[in-house]
Amino acid sequence: MRLLSAVVVAVCATAAAAVMVAGVLMALLSVADARVKAGPNVVSAHHRLRTPPGALDGGIVSAPAAAGYSFRLLRQAYLGTGAAVRLRRASDNAESDIGFSGNGDFDTASATAFCNATSCFVKTWYDQSGNARHATQATAANQPALVFNCIATLPCARATSPQVLVTANLTWASVITSMSVVANRSVGTTQQCEWTKRSGTNSVTANTANTWYVSDLTTNTIVLAATDAAWHAAVGLVNGAGSLIRVDGAESATAGITGTSTVRELALAAAAVGATCLQTEAILWDGYALTATERANLTANQRAYWGF
């Protein structure tokens, strides 16, 4: 009887252990399944899943970009071939290129070490498109500041007048232009922030209080509501009667915008007097109009990565 009791106890213990193990396995499978269903660029408090790595990978937009600037990796092919930005630190004016971590995030550790106990400014914002259309600013007083914890724990460039980054003059292939930005007018709600601009021709701009527009800067402007002191993902499409502005999930297409192939530079993070303009991403397509599906996919990709 004692032997039989011992056998029964052992069997029960084994069964209980099996149930416990099965429960743990089911919990792990549930977590894995949830991550798969969550899709690309899921943001959590503890871990960032980056598939695809950026807005120019993964079939989000079919056409190659004319220029792309970001504090995250936009194209997997760019990893290891170039930096995100060139920083200048205030303490001794030394400069350093800062790239990306292995998973495509901004290399915050290297930037923090370089900027230790001083302020840093963005001298050059490198073009990740492969076209080498880097936006730069040689004058120290006109360089936007690097802010580490700008959008949650993620970085941005902060511009106040007359801070701005510009490219060399470019010849545009077509009057059609698509412009994408992730930005925030945080101060100066009646002053303009120009997020990405074919200087003097077309731009995506924070205009009057709580509004953004896309414009030909001469005659026609398409306006859409966009809350100030908040982050937005915007698309400006310059395509004649097919022009529009998209901010987050809303679109407005009330007027045609005339594009131009005039030789002009690009200007990023341009701030009027009294405005503070925060920017973490800008992408342009020359001669290509983003489709409705591409605009929606791009907005979803950007909002998922930047977490707003």
Residue ranges per domain, the chain? 1-38, 67-81+126-306
DSSP-derived 3-state class of residue 63: coil
Do 71 and 281 form a contact (C-beta atoms < 8 A)? yes
For residue 53, name the pLDDT band (cuts at 50, 70, 90): low
Least confident range from 20-34, 157-171, 258-272: namely: 20-34
* Helical H segments across the chain, by residue range: 2-38, 108-114, 292-306
Amino acid present at 254: T
Give me the DSSP letters along 182-216. EEEEEE-TTS-EEEEEETTTEEEEE-STTEEEEE-
Average pLDDT over residues 263-275: 93
For residue 43, name the pLDDT band (cuts at 50, 70, 90): very low
DSSP-derived 3-state class of residue 139: coil
DSSP-derived 3-state class of residue 281: strand
For residue 175, name the pLDDT band (cuts at 50, 70, 90): confident
Determine the pLDDT at residue 255.
87
At the top level of CATH, which class does the domain 67-81+126-306 belong to?
mainly beta
d(CA 140, CA 162): 11
Determine the pLDDT at residue 272.
95
For the cut 70, the answer to whether the pLDDT of residue 17 exceeds it is no
